[in-house]
Amino acid sequence: MSQTPPDPHARPSPGTEAPTPRRRANRREQILRTAADAFASQGFHNTSLADIAAMLDITPAGVLHHFGSKTDLLTAVLELRDDDEPAPSGGRMLDHLVTTAERNASRPGATRLYTVLSAESATDDHPAQEWFRDRYTVLRGQIEEAVLERLGPGHREEAGTPGPDGHTPARAAATAIIAVMDGLQVQWLLDSEAVDMAAVTELVIDAVVARLSRRD
């Protein structure tokens, strides 16, 4: 049975044994974590493969040995950040958002990474643009469904009926909730003592649901 070949681009030390599959997996994890920190602090465009390699004392080709390109590395970093428990369906999704805001306050590195890259992805030809566009599309749909389930039967049909623009009031509520959560992350990163992300998220969710419940 053939073995996984060693990383030919690592800077070897005298007497060091050839990398095993476990060591290769550990190296890949190290690259991911280091790239995540670098992208969070400098942005994607301002971080080179050479920067990441230097932090790990390997060559840029050593990074590419584990990830085919800088874009592939970015995709892996985003998937790593997004590797949480699956969001629940229905009305429980709204409670999940509050829990997510609370958890984000305990992991500033991941929160900074998401905030920096989501804003940067709006620039022309950014490699993460499609990833974030798809993510927002999915989130809007999930939260719209959750808002409709949270509403009473008498208001659910109205909130789920598209208006002249083709969007439902529940979809507008979902968009507002996402905007608040993303904006809160920026405020919290700048002054964590001034912002309680979980409390404000819960307040806004309750407010928009109550507003839809009072629609005539």
Q: Where are the domains of the chain?
A: 21-80, 85-213
pLDDT tens string 6-55: 555 555 544 444 556 677 778 899 999 999 999 999 999 999 999 999 99
Q: Tokens representing 48? A: 């080179």
In total, the chain counts a number of residues equal to 216
pLDDT at residue number 93:
95
- Max Cα-Cα span within the chain: 78
Least confident of 76-85, 131-140, 161-170, 196-205: 76-85
| Cβ contact 4:21 at 8 Å | yes
Across residues 56-72, what is the average pLDDT?
A: 94
Task: Report the distance separating Cα 77 and Cα 112, nearest Å.
Answer: 13
Mean residue pLDDT of the chain comes to 88
The pTM assigned to this predicted structure is: 0.80
Of the candidates 183, 178, 95, 181, which has an alpha carbon nearest to the alpha carbon of residue 138?
Answer: 178
pLDDT tens string 163-201: 998 899 999 999 999 999 999 999 999 999 999 999 999
152 — pLDDT class (breaks 50, 70, 90):
confident
Of the candidates 216, 203, 214, 213, which has an alpha carbon nearest to the alpha carbon of residue 147?
Answer: 213
Rg from Cα positions in the chain: 22
Of the candidates 144, 139, 159, 172, which has an alpha carbon nearest to the alpha carbon of residue 212?
Answer: 159
- The topology (CATH level 3) of 21-80 is Arc Repressor Mutant, subunit A (1.10.10)
pLDDT at residue number 154:
81
84 — pLDDT class (breaks 50, 70, 90):
low
1 — pLDDT class (breaks 50, 70, 90):
very low
